[in-house]
Amino acid sequence: MIRLTRPHINLSGPSRLTLAISILVVAGVMAAASGAAFAHASLLRAEPPPNSVLEKSPERVTIWFTEPLVGGTFSEIQVLNSSGNRVDNRDSTVDVRDRTVMFVTLPPLPRGIYTVAWRSFSTLDGHPWMGSFVFSVGEALTAQGPPEAQPPLFSSPFEPLLRWLTLLSVLTLVGGLGFFLLVAEPSLRGHPDVAQKLRGRLYALMWVAIFVLFLSETGRLLVSATLQASSQNEALARSVVRVLVNTQWGHLWLWRTGLLYLAAVAMGLPMKRPAWDYSRNLAALGLDMAILLTLSLSSHSAALAGLRAAGVFTDYAHLLAAGFWVGGIFHLATGLPLLLRQLPQRERGVVLSAMVPRFSTTALLSVGTLLVTGLYSAWTMVGILPALFQTTYGLTLVTKLALIIPLVALGALNLLRVTPRLARSHAAGYQLRRFVTVEAILAVLVLLSVGVLTSLETARQTAARTGLGQPKGLSLQATAADLRVNLAVEPARLGLNRLVIRLEDKSGKLVTRAEYVLLLLRYLGAELGATPVYAIPQPNGTYVVDKVPIGTAGEWRAEIRVGRQGFFDTQAAFRFSIRAGGGTEAGLATPAPDTGKLLWGMELTLLGTLFMGTGARGGWPRRASAFLVVSGSVAVTIGLLFVAQALLNG
């Protein structure tokens, strides 16, 4: 029988070996992962721009994407004419100097409208992404050019489910070992028989988690390979090999599978000495934490240009906190029925009164970490408030938060109302079991929402691509003689635009009886000619020119001439810029690195303060308290240095 006391651990024998293995594994995973990626390789910008009208045929089509691509036949650009025939030179290439760039060369193209169809294959998430846009050579687009083709929400309908199962199983592994080492083992030192049975039950749940993780990761690999195989009409087995060998996602998958195997071996090895058993559990926990790291290295946060270290750190801290809290809830819910059944009634309240506060201390630290890291992640992934309520990612995040609130409330209720009654009330233990069961159900739903979140394009990217939260057009004003001329250009993008002219006198009164309002629109970057157009008066007193083709990005000049009876003609001129349609607003798509580093420093400072306060407060094993205080001090020091550096540079 194993006597469950926390032994003094020295770095010899198995302890030294397991520590060395854990360090080497984590270092290897970090070294294997390089570069950065969004959840999918989306179009950032293109040349020629979407919906542009060109005077002459371009020599090539070049597209910039939000993350590095896999070359070869994985990623491709095709250019089609109005009949659907391919007209490019069939030499689509990923730039070896910048793998976020892909181009295809073109022969001289006759006048007409052309469609650019692209397929990208992310080196990190292992999934293809597709889209299209149009441009014209020598003739105006006769209708509003179609927007960039909208990709589906998910690369595969199985993707959110598989990601959910992966998260559920990994957090169960981390939470199980953390719960046993930090909560169950210290609370049951006087009850070795019960502790042994509890350990068996917790280990059974962790073995189920290992099996589910193996299945979910196998499923994710097959989904990725199937998507690649279907796009290339190749055998599934060959596609599996190509994904594993040619993508960073495949490399991380191999690491994750290897770590899972080592964790299973560590958990299955028989240990005769308590010290060795304790070291084995620590090693298994370290391996499980390394599995979490591989998830962070292929997450949304790993894509943050200039902020990759901050993004991966934040995501990893978020996952670790979720593991110790949510994974711990699963094991508390699993173990409570056994404790209520096996412990004598007289001792049941004493043990639970010790166990619940220990777990609550872990939960409080985890929830605090989740709050701080969640705020940083929300800034990087959402960016603007409208994206929180007008994108699928944002609404899913709101759903996640709505589930977390009652989860936290139930935990607080257990700590403040139920725990004080455990020592004197037989019914309190069963009430605790019911509440913890509800917590576990809510936690499963929270993780389901996270599985959906990690499969979606981020709210920031969606907002940047669709122009959400951005001005819908340009509003300009000029004074000419006794008139104030207002010009609105909608949407002020390449393609067909609507120009609305509003005339006011010096007192601000609307002028509605002009004999004519003439518009002359001219591109300033080249001599493209200009045709005068009469604006049509509207019932609301404005003058409108509809379906004005603006086919070239750059500087434009609008000249407006107003004729009124009894007045000399009045002229006003406006100069404005038109950006390329489609793609994304680059400033919104990528968080500002300077601001991100400042916020990261603040995040580290808050986390360090939280760790120091929690460690000094007590409720932990001595070495755990020392670790919290020391690591918190280091985090505060580094965080303050980052804040000071950001403020000085700003």
User: Any residues with CB less than 8 A from the CB of 86 and at least 6 apart, and which?
Assistant: 78, 79, 80
Q: Taking a C-beta distance cutoff of 8 angstroms, is the pair 37, 302 a contact?
A: yes
What pLDDT does residue 428 have? Answer: 85
CA distances from 403 to 306, 314, 388, 400, 439 (A): 33, 21, 16, 5, 10
Cβ-based neighbour number of residue 54 at 10 Å = 17
Long-range interactions of 252-256: CB distance < 8 A, separation 24+: 252/29, 252/32, 252/33, 252/124, 252/294, 252/297, 252/298, 253/126, 253/217, 253/220, 253/221, 255/28, 255/29, 255/32, 255/294, 256/217, 256/291, 256/294, 256/295
Q: In the chain, what are the domain boundaries? A: 14-37+155-465, 43-137, 474-578, 595-650
What pLDDT does residue 38 have? Answer: 40
Angle at Cα 118 formed by Cα 113 and Cα 122, nearest 5°?
165
What pLDDT does residue 152 have? Answer: 66
Amino acid occupying residue 292: L
Tens of pLDDT, residue by residue over 173-201, are 999 999 999 898 888 888 888 888 999 99
User: Any residues with CB less than 8 A from the CB of 525 and at least 6 apart, and which?
Assistant: 552, 554, 555
Return d(Cα 501, Cα 63) in angstroms, integer. 36
What pLDDT does residue 275 have? Answer: 64
Return d(Cα 427, Cα 414) in angstroms, integer. 13
pLDDT mean for each 10 residues of the chain (650 residues): 37 42 42 41 82 86 86 85 89 89 94 88 74 82 53 78 95 95 86 87 95 96 80 73 85 94 89 72 93 89 80 94 95 92 83 88 93 93 88 93 94 88 83 94 95 86 74 82 88 83 87 89 77 88 87 84 86 82 53 89 96 81 83 95 88
CA atoms within 13 A on the CB side of 167: 29
Q: Taking a C-beta distance cutoff of 8 angstroms, is the pair 604, 635 a contact?
A: yes
Element (H, E) at 287: helix 274-296
3-state helix/strand/coil string of 125-160: CCCEEEEEEEEEECCCCCCCCCCCCCCCCCCCCCHH
Which tokens is 225 given? 């390979």
What pLDDT does residue 231 have? Answer: 57
Amino acid occupying residue 324: F
Domains 43-137 and 474-578 share a fold: yes
CATH, domain 474-578, list 2.60.40.1220, 3.30.70.2740, 3.10.20.30, 3.40.50.10140 = 2.60.40.1220
3-state helix/strand/coil string of 372-387: HHHHHHHHHHCCCHHH
What pLDDT does residue 136 have? Answer: 86
Tens of pLDDT, residue by residue over 403-414, are 999 999 999 998
The class level of CATH for 43-137 reads mainly beta
Return d(Cα 398, Cα 385) in angstroms, integer. 12
3-state helix/strand/coil string of 555-617: EEEEEEEEECCCCCCEEEEEEEEEECCCCCCHHHHCCCHHHHHHHHHHHHHHHHHHHHHHHHH
Question: Which SS3 state, helix, strand or coil, does residue 184 take?
Answer: helix
pTM greater than 0.95 (yes/no): no
Which tokens is 401 given? 């938060």
What pLDDT does residue 11 have? Answer: 38
